[in-house]
């Protein structure tokens, strides 16, 4: 009830939830109460969670925040959410996101932008407050002090899991599901002072999650702290016969890794992540992170990931290519929206023209182009080769004994809604993913952990990248930073 009330109060301003499943939440909570009263219940019994709108939830609005999926309520439950419910979690509702998870600001949603609960502030010199003398006169206490004044500009929560990050940060759920194709868990977590982990590709089943770029998509949690993220991931992860890319490996007790000393651990610092134009405060944050891990006994080593600079351009070929294929199924026949036409081809075209937003159309066009007969070799095939080189860079670093890699999570703090630079040039928006996409290209696990505030009081995050299926080391190390 407390969460439902908080959502009712704060959601009109934040737009984090697109649907609140209050009746369902109450039913699930009652069932949990009954179990707990009998001393039974799972690891998440009664814990209220928000679910990104990309996860198929049986009988409940699932639209990937797109108009083209209007009215779609699946008859199935995604494996990840089914795992959470089996452990006793309670669903509060579906969370806003960029349309089909394409974006870095949560501004491409059909349901409008999500607002970051954080605000910029300014350090101001203010005159000390006046005191009322009782006779109608005032005296000032004299002197000045420094105070923070809030700037009312609204900021983005990052994307595409902006609803998940905003809801967790504003305490509108205890934790949330999210997905990450090129940074969509880690970048919004960094922008909202929350923890987000993208596990190794194959750790969570993708079954029942609306597909964006199938070879990159992974589910993971956004949570208030590292421990919560560990508990949630433990429940979400599983091998699944319905997703043949999910991997049959025991899911360790991630929570047990938290608090273990990191003495002697080898932390790699990739020199190629020191990109041109990186703000000084991001560099300073990175140095702070290095110092904390060193103080905790880790050994810091410089490493080289030479193909880093090709990751972003290669990602923006591979991801749209897969998206253009995955999104071919929205034809007005099988799901959601149908706009009638003169004949069936006209119906496909009018439905897709009306149903997809601008960014999604841009991706479909790029993807179709790079897969077309004349350009496949020059773009798609080339990008796949680059992807292999990126993967090999990481393999070499780990083979040389590095246990974990530390980088900034994002090249800046949260920016303003309707930022003119980003709106005018989509490539500027794509640059947000500069530190995160390499991890998806290589299929590795990555975690974003809050590490400090910028000069305007906004949260900044650091990222840790681990060996395949070694999420434990990420939780262990992230806990030292948080």
Site string for ligand GLN, 311-350 (x = CB under 6 A): --------x-------------------------------
Number of residues that bind ligand GLN (CB under 6 A): 13
Shortest reach from residue 187's CB to ligand GLN, in Å: 7
Shorter beta-carbon distance to ligand GLN: residue 65 or 293: 65
The single residue among 433, 470, 471, 472 that binds ligand GLN, judged by CB under 6 A, is 433
Binders of ligand GLN among 369-388, rule CB under 6 A?
Answer: none
Angle at 219 between CA 216 and CA 225, to 5 degrees: 125
d(CA 376, CA 370): 5
Q: Which of 105, 161, 184, 246 is catalytic?
A: 184
| CA–CA dist 208, 58 (Å, integer) | 10
Which among 449, 444, 451 is positioned nearest to 470, based on CA atoms?
Answer: 444
Residue 425, classed as helix, strand or coil, is coil
CB atoms within 10 A of CB 176: 28
| DSSP helix/strand/coil, 20 | strand
Nearer to ligand GLN, 350 or 384 (CB): 384
Dihedral of CA atoms 329, 332, 337, 342 in degrees, nearest 10, equals 150
Pick between residue 81 and residue 184 the one whose CB is nearest to ligand GLN.
Answer: 184
Binding pattern to ligand GLN, positions 73-112, x when CB under 6 A?
----------------------------xxxx--------
Q: Out of 52, 94, 198, 234, which one is annotated catalytic? A: 52
52: annotated active-site residue:
yes
**Segment 402 to 421, residues that bind ligand GLN, using CB under 6 A:** none
Nearer to ligand GLN, 102 or 262 (CB): 102
Supply 130's token pair: 């006046």
DSSP state of 128: P
Q: Which is nearer to ligand GLN, 32 or 108 (CB)?
A: 108
To the nearest whole angstrom, how small is the minimum distance from the Cβ of residue 246 to ligand GLN? Answer: 19
Give 229-260 as a DSSP string.
Answer: HHHHHHHH---BTTBTTS-------GGGGTT-
Taking the least distance from each CB to ligand GLN, the nearer of 4 and 319 is 319
Shortest CB 160 distance to ligand GLN, Å: 4
The contact mask relative to ligand GLN for 137-166 (x = CB under 6 A, - = no) is -----------------------x------
Answer for the pair 185, 198: CB distance below 8 angstroms, yes or no.
Answer: yes
Rounded to whole angstroms, how far apart are CA atoms 461 and 439? 16
Give the span between the Cα atoms of 49 and 51, in whole angstroms.
7
Residues 6 or more apart in contact with residue 381 via CB below 8 angstroms? none
Binding mask 264-303 for ligand GLN (x = CB under 6 A): ----------------------------------------
Smallest distance from ligand GLN to CB 183, Å: 5
3-state secondary structure of 407: strand
Closest distance to ligand GLN from the beta carbon of 319 (Å): 5
264: buried, middle or exposed (CB in 10 Å: 19+, 13-18, 0-12)?
A: exposed
Q: Report DSSP letters for 98-155, one per residue.
A: SGGG--SSS-S-TT-PPPPS---EEEEEEEPPEEE-SSS-EEE--SEEEEEEE----B
Alpha helices of 263-343 — where are they, by DSSP H?
280-295, 311-326
Q: Which is nearer to ligand GLN, 161 or 351 (CB)?
A: 161
Residue least distant from ligand GLN (Cβ): 184
User: Minimum distance from CB of 351 to ligand GLN (Å)?
Assistant: 23
The length of the chain in residues reads: 482
Catalytic residue among 104, 109, 160, 324: 160
For residues 444 and 220, give the distance between their C-alpha atoms in angstroms, rounded to a whole number. 13
Please tell me whether residue 440 adopts helix, strand or coil conformation.
helix
Residue among 177 and 184 whose Cβ is closer to ligand GLN = 184
Least Å from the CB of residue 136 to ligand GLN: 59
> Please, what is the minimum distance in Å from the beta carbon of residue 436 to ligand GLN?
8
- Do 40 and 50 meet the contact criterion of CB atoms below 8 Å apart? no
Q: Determine, following the binding rule CB under 6 A, whether residue 434 of this chain makes contact with ligand GLN.
A: no
In angstroms, give the least distance from the CB of 429 to ligand GLN. 8
Q: Which is nearer to ligand GLN, 101 or 172 (CB)?
A: 101
Q: Which of residues 168-197 bind ligand GLN (CB under 6 A)?
A: 180-184
Work out the number of other CB atoms within 10 angstroms of the CB of residue 346: 12
- Integer distance in angstroms from the first to the last C-alpha of the chain? 30
Residues identified as active-site: 52, 160, 184
Point out which residues bind ligand GLN (CB under 6 A): 101-104, 160, 180-184, 212, 319, 433
């Amino acid at each position: 009830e407390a969460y439902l009330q908080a959502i009712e109060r704060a959601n009109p301003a934040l737009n984090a939830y697109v649907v609140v499943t209050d009746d369902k939440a109450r039913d699930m909570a009652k069932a949990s109460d009954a179990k707990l009263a009998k001393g039974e219940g799972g690891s998440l019994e009664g814990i209220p969670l928000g679910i990104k709108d990309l996860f198929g939830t049986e009988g409940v609005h699932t639209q990937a925040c797109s108009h083209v999926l209007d009215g779609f309520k699946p008859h199935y439950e995604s494996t990840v959410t089914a795992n959470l419910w089996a452990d006793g979690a309670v669903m509060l509702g579906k969370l806003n996101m960029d349309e089909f998870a394409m974006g870095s600001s949560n501004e491409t949603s059909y349901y409008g932008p999500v607002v970051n609960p954080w605000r910029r502030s300014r350090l101001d010199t203010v005159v000390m407050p006046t005191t009322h003398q009782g006779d109608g006169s005032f005296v000032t206490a004299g002197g000045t002090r420094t105070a923070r004044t809030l700037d009312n500009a609204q900021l983005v929560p990052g994307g595409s899991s902006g609803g998940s990050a905003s809801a967790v940060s504003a305490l509108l759920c205890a934790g949330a599901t999210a997905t990450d194709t090129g940074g969509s868990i880690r970048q919004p977590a960094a922008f909202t002072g929350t923890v987000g982990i993208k596990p190794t590709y194959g750790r969570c089943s993708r079954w029942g999650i609306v597909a964006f770029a199938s070879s990159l998509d992974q589910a993971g949690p956004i949570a208030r702290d590292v421990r919560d993220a560990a508990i949630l991931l433990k429940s979400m992860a599983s091998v699944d016969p319905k997703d043949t890319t999910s991997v049959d490996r025991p899911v360790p007790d991630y929570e047990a890794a938290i608090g273990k000393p990191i003495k002697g651990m080898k932390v790699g610092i990739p020199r190629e992540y020191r990109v041109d134009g990186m703000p000084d405060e991001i560099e300073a944050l990175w140095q702070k992170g290095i110092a904390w891990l060193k103080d905790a006994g880790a050994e810091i080593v410089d490493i080289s990931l030479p193909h880093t600079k090709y990751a972003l351009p290669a990602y923006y070929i591979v991801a749209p290519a897969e998206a253009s294929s995955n999104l071919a199924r929205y034809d007005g026949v099988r799901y959601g929206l149908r706009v009638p036409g003169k004949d069936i081809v006209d119906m496909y075209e009018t439905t897709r023209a009306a149903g997809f937003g601008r960014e999604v159309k841009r991706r479909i066009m790029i993807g179709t182009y790079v897969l077309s007969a004349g350009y496949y070799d020059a773009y798609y095939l080339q990008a796949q080769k680059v992807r292999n080189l990126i993967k090999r860079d990481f393999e070499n670093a780990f083979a040389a004994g590095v246990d974990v890699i530390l980088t900034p999570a994002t090249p800046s703090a949260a920016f303003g809604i309707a930022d003119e630079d980003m709106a005018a040039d989509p490539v500027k928006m794509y640059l947000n993913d500069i530190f995160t996409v390499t991890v998806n290209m290589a299929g590795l696990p990555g975690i974003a952990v809050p590490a400090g505030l910028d000069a305007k009081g906004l949260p900044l995050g650091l990222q840790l990248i681990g060996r395949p299926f070694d999420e434990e080391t990420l939780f262990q190390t992230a806990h030292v930073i948080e």
